[in-house]
A and B are shown apart, each in its own frame.
Chain A
């Protein structure tokens, strides 16, 4: 059973436009959500997080939105840049300090 779902294996976006990566979760006990970015041959890198008591968290070009009633979160990147091409993992935790990851979405930023 997959508790964190990223249904789009890949996404292509024009440079300068907005990239929107989506994520759904099934476990209502999750109260902390994170996004990680991964380049080939490297480990995942923490990008941004959000607590369940918030519905939005912004950090520069990155914004994460959380809709608890829909058990859905999304990562917005604007404007998209070539260096944003990577695999993005959505992840969640129920505060037992174990993070559950989705399968990832590969983002391609087109010139």
Chain B
């Protein structure tokens, strides 16, 4: 395992349904981040974990969104009662303590709400 893995790569769901995405970070990275990217925008911060602790949540993360990182390993991002505005690329990244190496991003999960 040499990278950040995200599943699924694509998800099409009907409005009102719940969806869950998974991220497996690089094993020795203790920090894990979720970002969202919409067309024409850069990645927007959603939340991040250090080990299993969720340290910060963006105001973009409404009550319908919840993220977990049990045991400080993989993470899940759940969106309840999806809305068309939730359609975006959801990116996961991980990093070690030293920010100097930047984050390593996964390939993302593209969500389409119809």
Contact = CB atoms under 8 A, between A and B. Distances in A.
B105 A98 contact: no
Interface residues of B, number: 26
Given A32-B99, A97-B31, A97-B48, A43 B42 contact: no
B94 to A, nearest CB: 11
Nearest to B106: A43
Given A43-B91, A43-B108, A98-B48, A49 B43 contact: no
Nearest to A102: B42
Most buried by A among B4, B33, B42, B44: B42
Contact of B102 (A34, A98, A102): A34
Contacts of A32: 99-100
Interface in A92-110: 93, 95-104
A28 to B, nearest CB: 19
Contacts of B31: 97
Interface of A: 4, 6, 9, 32, 34, 36, 41-46, 49, 51, 89, 91, 93, 95-104
Interface of B: 4, 31, 33, 35, 40-45, 48, 50, 56, 91, 93, 95, 99-108
Contact of B43 (A45, A51, A89, A97): A89
B101 A46 contact: yes
A46 B102 contact: yes
Contacts of A45: 105
A42 B110 CA distance: 11
B40 A46 contact: no
